[in-house]
Amino acid sequence: MRQFFLLLTPLFLYGQIDRITGEAFATRSEVIASHGAAATSQPLATGIALDILKKGGSAVDAAIAANAALGLMEPTGCGVGGDLFALVWDPKTQRLFGYNGSGRSPKGLSLAQLKAELAKQGLNEIPPYGFLPISVPGAVDGWFALHQKFGKLPMDQVLAPAISYAEEGFPVSELIGYYWAIGLRLHQQRPGAFGATFSINGTAPIKGQIFRNPDLAATYRQLAKSGREVFYRGEIAKQIDQFFKANGGYLAYRDLAEHKGEWVDPISVNYRGYEVYELPPNGQGLAVLQMLNILEGFDLKSWGPDSALTLHTLIEAKKLAFEDRARYYADPAFCQLPIQQLLSKSYAAERRSLIGDRASHRLDAGHFPLQTGDTIFLTTADQDGMMVALIQSNYRGMGSGIVVPGLGFCFQDRGQLFHLDPQHANVYAPGKRPFHTIIPAFVLKDGKPWLSFGVMGGDMQPQGHVQILVNLIDFGMNLQEAGDHARWQHLGSSDPTGSVMTDGGFVELERGIPWSVRRELIRRGHAIRDGLGGFGGYQAILFNSEQKVYYAASESRKDGMAAGY
């Protein structure tokens, strides 16, 4: 019965039958608060963030505390074995800061060695699980870099709530429990301690069951006491090194010891008077900005939010941006990327002209020279005006499936997103950051903070960002309506790992989109399918500068919650 309900949920709850009217719909009211706000994908984590704010912590402190809790409570999406990206509005300097906390590939594994290992295993691409796709986890370094710059409370206080929950236990929430069971089936027999760490007597915890992770509590205690160094150069690093050596893995002590994240300048475009900010590659935030540049030339408002013409135009803009994503998005430390050209309004006009009345089946990326040289999102805001957009992930839900005994967390598998062609910008290389899907977003209005938000979920993320922004800016929806409105997702585009779109891909639609619109999209040549979930996970905080209050919203498709005080 449970499986049957989950199959129906995306159609009858996620799509919301009420939305067939085409009118704006919200599952609940926005949260409105004057002192601080938080929105995460797990209610207990949201509560922790608020507690930290009430104790005088900054929005960054609250974000780290919530992220640590989610690593425990939602290991199906994040954890300290993964990477982290963040955008922070600093009210003191009136400046938006960007942080890239992604890790690099093992320096002891060359492209030739990787290909030989793949051939030995009978593979022609990097696998999603096991030791080969593992790159250095950057989340812990990100926590401490953010905390050093913007934290107020000591790190032991910031991590204390997650440590307490890890030791005493917490009740597993519904959707997380569903994905947890899938992860356990996938990874229970892998080398290491996955099964012992993430099961209760060999089975996944169910909704409402108390789960404890004393190993993760011990890891967090070491971080609280000794800082980032214990993870990258101290006892934890040594445990990781020893385990990988003993089991044929390639991640080594040197990779951890030499890791460092990077403060970066966010990139932006102006969309109808709103300055939309994303982080530059190796992430895919650039695709959001390219799509918005293309869409700016169309009168979406007059067409309406669920018209066939609006959806057709958004889908085609996505296809165009994703062709450039497949060709040019990579680690800028290894290749000089044409970011400014891709962001130019003149280039957007060229690409816009390629959108016709019919669905495109095959597209090419723009022509610029190259010169070599499953996820959680949360957002917090404090009484001083600091706002944080933080996204953190293991990739593919529970990551690689590799857990070092005694540490309590799973390693990410981001390395699967490398290309194997030596001529490609995203080709695998030792010490290189792979193409990344996780992206936080921030919007300024008249130079002041307006919106901190994200929509987690792989390739859905740029599409989700654009849909949220169009709902807010073009169609005037409120913050919760913008997230609850029925979504679409296009799949089958060319991607940075080597696949090429030759048939136009297909579009998944939530049930709230009218059948008449579906028929018109089919007439225009789109392959349409019903979506069974996978439409992303939205969290957002908006600051109303006139009222001097925060508005917060959370994803109705997940277990999350927005709250404020």
Query: What pLDDT is stored for residue 13 in this prediction?
Result: 36
Query: What pLDDT is stored for residue 18 in this prediction?
Result: 42
CATH number, position 337: 1.10.246.130
Alpha-carbon distance 556 to 565, whole Å? 21
User: Do 391 and 538 fall within a single domain?
Assistant: no
Of residues 310, 375, 379, 437, which has the active-site annotation?
Answer: 375
Q: Give me the helix-helix angle, 345-352 and 308-328, nearest 10°.
A: 120
User: Do 132 and 191 fall within a single domain?
Assistant: yes
Give the burial class of 258: count Cβ atoms within 10 A of its Cβ; 0-12 exposed, 13-18 middle, 19 or more buried: middle
Question: Exposure string (b/e) for 313-336, b if CB count within 10 Å is 16 or more?
Answer: bbbbbbbbbbbbbbbbbbbbebbe
Query: What pLDDT is stored for residue 22 in this prediction?
Result: 53
Q: Decide if 520 is inside a domain.
A: yes
User: Do 330 and 292 fall within a single domain?
Assistant: yes
Q: Decide if 133 is inside a domain.
A: yes
Q: Is 375 a catalytic residue?
A: yes
Give the burial class of 209: count Cβ atoms within 10 A of its Cβ; 0-12 exposed, 13-18 middle, 19 or more buried: middle
User: Do 397 and 515 fall within a single domain?
Assistant: no
Q: Decide if 94 is inside a domain.
A: yes
Integer CA distances (angstroms), 444 to 268, 269, 285, 286, 523, in order: 10, 11, 16, 17, 39
Share of the chain above pLDDT 90, in %: 90
User: Do 273 and 247 fall within a single domain?
Assistant: no
Query: What pLDDT is stored for residue 420 in this prediction?
Result: 97
Residue 265 and residue 98 in contact, taking contact as beta carbons nearer than 8 Å: yes
Confidence of residue 24 (pLDDT cuts 50, 70, 90): confident
User: Do 328 and 398 fall within a single domain?
Assistant: no
- Give the strand pairing for 441-445 and 31-33: unpaired
- Can you name the residues that pair with 391 across neighbouring β-strands? 85, 377
Q: Decide if 468 is inside a domain.
A: yes
Q: What is the pLDDT of residues 266-285, one digit of tens each?
A: 999 999 999 999 999 999 99
User: Do 271 and 325 fall within a single domain?
Assistant: yes
**Which amino acid does the sequence have at 13?**
L
Average pLDDT over residues 336-341: 94
Q: Decide if 159 is inside a domain.
A: yes
User: Do 178 and 304 fall within a single domain?
Assistant: no
Q: How many domains does the chain have?
A: 2
User: Do 151 and 291 fall within a single domain?
Assistant: no
Q: Decide if 551 is inside a domain.
A: no
Average pLDDT over residues 355-365: 94
User: Do 224 and 369 fall within a single domain?
Assistant: no
User: Do 95 and 209 fall within a single domain?
Assistant: yes
**Cα angle: 523, vertex 291, 390; to 5 degrees:** 125
- Its pTM stands at 0.94
Average pLDDT over residues 504-520: 93
Q: How many CB atoms lie within 10 A of CB 92?
A: 9
Alpha-carbon distance 476 to 474, whole Å? 6
Q: Decide if 353 is inside a domain.
A: yes
Q: Decide if 549 is inside a domain.
A: no
- Tell me phi and psi for residue 564, to 5 degrees: -155, 180
User: Do 255 and 301 fall within a single domain?
Assistant: no
Q: What is the pLDDT of residues 75-107, one digit of tens each?
A: 999 999 999 999 999 999 999 999 999 999 999
- Residue 461: give the domain boundaries: 267-375+455-544
Alpha-carbon distance 456 to 479, whole Å? 17
Which of 391, 417, 443 lies at the terminal end of a domain, its last residue? 417
